[in-house]
Amino acid sequence: MIFTCYSQVEKINVPKYVRLPADSVQAKSLISSLESFLQETTKPNKENAFIWKEQLTETSALLTELKGMGNGNTPDQKSSYSCFLDNIVLMDSTDYIVQFSYMGQYQGSTGIRASFKLLAKKIDDHYSFYSPFQRNTQTWKVKKTGKIDFYYRTSLNTSLINEYVKKANEFDKKLHAPEYITKIYFCDNTQEALELLGVTYKADYNGLAHESFAAFENNQSLLIFGSNPSDPELLDIHDCWHMRLRYAVPRANINRFVDEGCAYLYGGSWGYSWPYIFNKFKLYMGSGTDWLTAYAENKNFGESAEKHLYAAYVINALLAQKIEKDKGFAGVIEFLNSGKKQKDDENYFKALNKIDEINRSNFNATIEKLIVDESVK
Ligand SMILES: [Zn+2]
């Protein structure tokens, strides 16, 4: 996503047929506030002065979809679109519904790039904007567990929920995670999730049935699934690990290959358990493997490109398990923090050597032994 589009102030086009509020001062204030709100989407969300902060988390999830939309003139000249005001409707004495769209040329065709529906609230001398998400879901059922609240409309699979909460607690304890509340919403599909958030349409999600949306602000994690609770893949423990890690350890230094290795070890992948993945890996790699080369090559031994299982992730799962046993979980956190993946893995090997005296010269023997040990478990 490109965040540097606002080289100049984008004005909102107001078509003649749009019936503006009768009070022209308010109408002017509303439009100029909206322009300021859109310009400030280049800042971190909590610094946007035109967001109604009481619903910052929901609005943050919406803003992820709005960011970078401002200037549709892409360098390849395949896209050129502008912002148009569609509708302003007074909702109650102070709040308005505001709808606007980005229209023009998108990837060489004429049409709607994206369309949004926000709520506006008058605060002091200007308007602040927020996502209609809370308003749209206020009649939903909720199951509160203390750490995670689940919002739904039909029914929940209690055993899946309990397992998810149990694992989230385990991970947080290991990670010394700060206390924060997670709200999980189950929508039927991508389009419903988007509409509840205030994204009426976005070309990027065209034809995609089950996408998820997330935000984290003010010690509140929001997770909106574009799938209903009957989908068994939804409350995947693998993804639970990623989510809990994401809000416990700063992301900048996380080595994604190590993160994935831990996710395999603690939560399996694609619904496969860790022992299943390990055995499949062993069978695929065969005997006499050079593990340094195998780590660098990182072959996919999954059933397809889409349902991938990667060799390097399994190797990291084995290493994380060993480090936890040798040095406690603090060692695993250090391993996770070895820094962004480098082509030569210099930082990765430096960390391994420091944590548990594993280096390029003993890597092969170490992994071979870990595989033998894991096989007899
Ligand atoms: Zn993963």
| 87 CA to centre of ligand 1 in angstroms | 41
Single residue among 204, 228, 247 that ends a domain in this structure: 247
Task: For residue 257, report the distance from its CA to the centre of ligand 1, in Å.
Answer: 9
Structure-token match 């399996």, residue found: 268
Structural domain boundaries enclosing 41? 4-131
Token look-up 């290493």 returns: 319
Alpha helices in 214-289 (DSSP H): 237-246, 256-267, 274-285
pLDDT in tens, 140-164: 999 999 899 999 999 888 988 999 9
Ligand 1 centroid from CA 154, angstroms: 29
CA distance 210 to 205: 10
Q: Are residues 116 and 9 in the same domain?
A: yes
Residue 90's DSSP bridge partners are: 96
Q: Which residues contact 274 (CB under 8 A, 6 or more apart)?
A: 264, 265, 266, 267, 268, 317
Beta bridge partners of 88: 98
Asked whether 336 and 259 are in contact (CB, 8 A), the reply is: yes
Q: How many C-beta atoms surround the C-beta of residue 226 within 10 A?
A: 24
Centre of ligand 1 to C-alpha 312, Å, is 13
Residues 243 and 274 in one domain: no
Q: How far is the CA of 239 from the centre of ligand 1 (A)?
A: 6
Same domain for 73 and 55? yes
For residue 262, report the distance from its CA to the centre of ligand 1, in Å.
9
The verdict on residue 36 lying in a domain is yes
Instruction: Give the pairing of strands 220-225 and 181-186.
Output: parallel
Say yes or no: 343 and 370 in one domain: yes
Distance CA 352, CA 334 (A): 9
Quick check: 237 and 225 in contact, CB under 8 A?
A: no
Is the domain of 59 the same as that of 30?
yes
Last residue of a domain, one of 112, 131, 150: 131
What pairing do the DSSP bridges indicate for beta strands 199-202 and 109-123? antiparallel
Q: Are residues 345 and 282 in the same domain?
A: yes
Q: Is residue 225 part of a domain?
A: yes
Same domain, 242 and 302: no
Amino acid at 105: Q
Edge-to-edge strands, sheet with 141-144? 141-144, 148-152, 181-186, 220-225, 212-217
pLDDT tens digit at each of 377 positions of the chain: 334 344 445 689 999 999 999 889 999 999 999 999 999 999 999 999 999 999 999 999 999 999 888 666 666 677 888 999 999 999 988 899 999 999 988 888 899 999 999 999 999 899 999 999 999 999 999 999 989 999 999 988 898 899 999 999 999 999 999 999 999 999 999 999 999 999 999 999 999 999 999 999 999 999 999 988 777 778 899 999 999 999 998 888 999 999 999 999 999 999 999 999 999 999 999 999 999 999 999 999 999 999 999 999 999 999 999 999 999 999 999 999 999 999 999 999 999 999 999 999 999 999 999 999 999 87
345 torsion bin: left (phi>0), alpha (psi -120 to 50), beta (else): left
The answer to whether residues 320 and 354 belong to one domain is: yes
Span from the CA of 61 to the centroid of ligand 1 (angstroms): 21
* C-alpha 236 to ligand 1 mean position (Å): 10
Distance CA 126, CA 128 (A): 7
Ligand 1 center to 310 CA (angstroms) = 11
Q: Distance, CA 246 to ligand 1 centroid (Å)?
A: 12
How many angstroms does the Cα of residue 174 sit away from the middle of ligand 1? 18
- Together in a domain, 41 and 84: yes
Ligand 1 centroid – CA 333 distance (Å): 17
Q: What domain count does the chain have?
A: 3
Residue 136, domain member (yes or no):
no
We report the CATH number of the domain holding residue 61 as 3.10.450
**How far apart are the CA of 256 and the centre of ligand 1, in A?**
9
Which of 131, 163, 198 is the last residue before a domain boundary?
A: 131
Contact indicator for 223, 148 with CB cutoff of 8 Å = no
Distance 95 CA to ligand 1 centre (A): 41
- Compute the distance from residue 270 Cα to the ligand 1 centre, in Å: 9
Q: 263 C-alpha to center of ligand 1: Å?
A: 6
Are 172 and 211 in a shared domain?
Answer: yes
Return the H-helix or E-strand segment holding 203: none
User: Alpha helices, DSSP H only, in 55-212?
Assistant: 56-66, 133-136, 158-175, 190-197
pTM listed for this prediction = 0.88
Query: 180 by DSSP, 3-state: which?
Result: coil
pLDDT digits over 90-128, tens only? 998 889 999 999 998 888 889 999 999 999 999 989 999
Q: Residue 242 Cα, ligand 1 centroid: separation in angstroms?
A: 7
Report the separation in Å between the CA atom of 370 and the middle of ligand 1, taken as the mean of its atom positions. Answer: 22
β-pairing verdict for 148-152 and 181-186: parallel
Residues 43 and 104 grouped into a single domain = yes
